Amino acid sequence: MGLTYIDFFCGAGGSSTGAAAVPGVTPVLAANHWDKAIASHAANFPAADHFLGDLHDADVATFPAADLFWASPECPKWSNARGVRRDFDRQPDLFGETLPDAATDRSRALMWDVPRYLEAMAARGKPVLAGVIENVVDVRAWDLWSAFNQEVRQVGPGYRTRLIALNSMHARPSTIAVAPQSRDRLYLAYWRADLGRDPDWDKWLRPLTWCGGCDRAVRAVQAFKRPGADMGRYRQQYVYRCPHVTCRNAVVEPPVVPAASIIDWSLTGRRIGDGKPGRKFTPYAAATRERIRAGIRKYGAPLLAPAGGTWRTEATPVTVPAPTRTTRENDGLAVPPLLVPTEGRDGKAAGQVGEPMRTQTARNETGLAWLPFIAELRGGGSDARPVLDALATVTASGNHHGLSLPPASGAVDWSALLTPYYGNGTARPVGEPVGTLTTRDRYGLAAGGRHGGTDVDEVLFRMLEPHEIGAAMAFAPDYVVIGNKREKVRQFGNAVTSNVAELLVSALVEAITGHDLEPGGRA
């Protein structure tokens, strides 16, 4: 059974990509107000029609009818990331409350274009079968949310709805790769009540997770921390729990893909001390330098890793004596890189590339920092090399490898310990991998002996490139995005992660057709 698909506020096409990955679904129209986004969408979906313009002023009754309808109304005016106090969760006080500006009001009014299209198609006798409305989680606090939800339910033949809080790093559909990014979003799924069946949400929304208490893989259950809550961010407002009482419904961690998987390691950075790229020397902001410094203190311990030709299989921290040398070993020195927020807001911290990225916005606000290089101290063709490369051949004639690090006066405190402050865990050096990270803040950093700031001038740093950001949004490497670097980043940051779109559309298509589809991560 073929199903047609329409995408409002389509952006570069993340939601369309996910929908088109579902068997039988064909995008027929995409609409957006930005010419660059429409050009990008058209380059990847040339068979679909495209509408360029303000949907709020468009006569949507003239648009083609479709079986599936996805809409992602503009989100910046809803997001707390704006740095502006939220004003949409209460009715304005006309005797003192500052009213939202006209642009903000118009942006938020785009939400009503969704039921407007649904009503227009129902009036033509071609009601939409199912769809999804996507936005930031803050929309749930809108004082008109209940009225909006009711409006959708009452259109035409009537719809059933499901409010979904989902982080992109947990969505595992059949085809599209998992997004290595922690991206919390609100999704309101709806489907015609007269279909006679509901989507199997348990099948699609419960990630396959290992439960240590049960010693087996389970389908985790979403559990909100506050009774009655139905929307929020992962770890802050909800966790996942094992469905079995044998482990007392233990909190479990669904598997994720690390940010390291989308980093282009062939690209080099430049020293922080050399300033930002450009003709004029411009130093990095103090906040950025401090985030890097704090990240190095927390995550930056190098590891000596066997790279073949050895009986050893495990990496060891450089804070302990080196393993026995042989004539065949080729050890690599690896320093965990950091993803560093560079926007001006307070409260941001560097994170490890071994974890998913934080949420990508429409701006390039993330840089990659890593400690510098290994200097080979012999003649011939030797050279310096990044610490992420393996060492050159270790010969029998001497120690020819020097590690270039910040000076001792501001060195990383390798004696620091990660100290668990509950449970039965033991402290471990920061030079070793951290223990299992649960949904609670489990480890404290206990630094002893040396204090003071770390000199970050020798740290290599660069901003993420558009193709890396696109990969973090689950776009394929060959996906075409039109525009300059800034325009590409904006399109990626405003997009829907296509793995989530494939997952949700798959659930709806199953309900429409009655034919089973296979999600990813099956036991």
Residue 328 burial (CB count, 10 A): 11
Q: What pLDDT is recorded for position 110? A: 83
Q: Cα dist. 378→14, 371, 381, 392, 480 in Å?
A: 51, 22, 9, 11, 46
8 A C-beta contact, residue 429 and residue 315: no
What secondary structure letter does DSSP report for 322?
A: P
In the sheet that holds 331-334, the strands lie side by side as 316-317, 303-306, 331-334
Residue 381 burial (CB count, 10 A): 7
What φ, ψ does residue 148 adopt, rounded to 5°? -65, -45
In the chain, what's the furthest Cα-to-Cα distance? 85
Closest CA to 47 of 11, 12, 20: 20
Output the six-digit token pair for 468: 């890396």
Q: Mapping DSSP to helix (H, G, I), strand (E, B) and coil, where does residue 128 land?
A: coil
Q: What pLDDT is recorded for position 335? A: 53
Q: Domain 3-207+481-513 class?
A: alpha beta
Determine the Cα–Cα distance for residues 493 and 472; give it in Å rounded to an integer. Answer: 10
CATH 3.40.50.150 residue ranges of the chain are 3-207+481-513
Q: Cα dist. 399→133, 309, 396 in Å?
A: 61, 19, 8
Output the six-digit token pair for 488: 């590409």
Interior/surface letters 404-443, b for 16+ CB within 10 angstroms, e for the rest: ebbeeebebbeebbbebeeeeeeebebbbeeeeebbeebb
Q: Are strands 443-446 and 417-420 parallel, antiparallel or unpaired?
A: antiparallel
What DSSP string describes 106-123?
HHHHGGGHHHHHHHHHHH
pLDDT tens track, the chain, 523 positions: 799 999 999 999 999 999 999 999 999 999 999 999 999 999 999 999 999 999 888 999 999 999 999 999 975 454 554 444 544 444 444 333 444 455 555 556 788 999 999 999 999 999 999 999 999 999 999 988 999 999 999 998 899 999 999 999 999 999 998 888 888 999 999 999 999 999 999 999 999 999 999 999 999 999 999 999 999 999 999 999 999 999 999 999 998 887 777 878 777 777 788 888 888 889 888 877 777 777 666 666 555 555 554 555 565 555 555 444 443 444 454 555 666 666 555 556 656 555 666 677 776 666 666 554 333 334 444 444 443 333 333 333 333 333 333 333 333 333 334 444 334 444 444 334 333 333 233 333 333 333 334 567 777 777 778 898 888 899 999 999 999 988 998 898 889 999 999 999 999 999 999 999 988 765 4
Determine the Cα–Cα distance for residues 315 and 336; give it in Å rounded to an integer. Answer: 13
Specify the pTM: 0.73
Q: What pLDDT is recorded for position 313? A: 56
8 A C-beta contact, residue 321 and residue 276: no
8 A C-beta contact, residue 33 and residue 55: yes
Element (H, E) at 239: strand 238-241
CA 195 to chain centre: 34
